[in-house]
Amino acid sequence: GESVGLHLPTLSVQEGDNSIINCAYSNSASDYFIWYKQESGKGPQFIIDIRSNMDKRQGQRVTVLLNKTVKHLSLQIAATQPGDSAVYFCAENSQWEAGGASYGKLTFGQGTILTVHP
């Protein structure tokens, strides 16, 4: 079936460095992608999203890049801080309409563990 996956399961960086987390997706029909951050014992926290009609979107210290040609998504975190340490997931939103109703669900990748050393 369709799936979303991550290239690197772990990433260790020094405080202040920039971090790049990568994600490959396989459902070319998907038109929306989300990055989530999940800390231990907590639910996923929204970071940033991007639609397929864009190739770049910036937030506060974060940038998401989308390359539809190779079905690749990345999350860049600038000036990484210890508080950024968490598991990061990319998710693909699949949505469709049928019988007058709207359906949708997220398909997540396995996650990348980001560790930031002070």
Partner 1 sequence: DTGVSQNPRHKITKRGQNVTFRCDPISEHNRLYWYRQTLGQGPEFLTYFQNEAQLEKSRLLSDRFSAERPKGSFSTLEIQRTEQGDSAMYLCAARTSGGLTDTQYFGPGTRLTVL
Under the rule (CB under 8 A), what is the footprint of partner 1?
4, 32, 34, 36, 41-46, 49, 89, 91, 93, 95, 101-111
Q: How far is the CB of 104 from partner 1 (least distance, A)?
A: 7
What is the closest distance, in whole angstroms, from the C-beta atom of residue 89 to partner 1 in the complex?
5
**Which is closer to partner 1, CB of 75 or CB of 91?**
91
15 vs 24, which CB is nearer to partner 1? 24
What's the distance, CA 109 to chain centroid?
9
The sign of the dihedral angle between the CA atoms of 49, 39, 12, 109 is negative
Tell me which H or E stretch contains 104.
strand 101-108
Q: How far apart are CA 43 and CA 64, in angstroms?
A: 21
The half-sphere exposure of 67 on its side-chain side, counting CA atoms within 13 A, is: 9
Q: Taking the complex as a whole, how short is the minimal distance between the CB of residue 110 and partner 1, in angstroms?
A: 6
Helix (H, G, I), strand (E, B) or coil at 86: strand
Of 9 and 16, CB closest to partner 1: 9
Nearer to partner 1, 17 or 103 (CB): 103
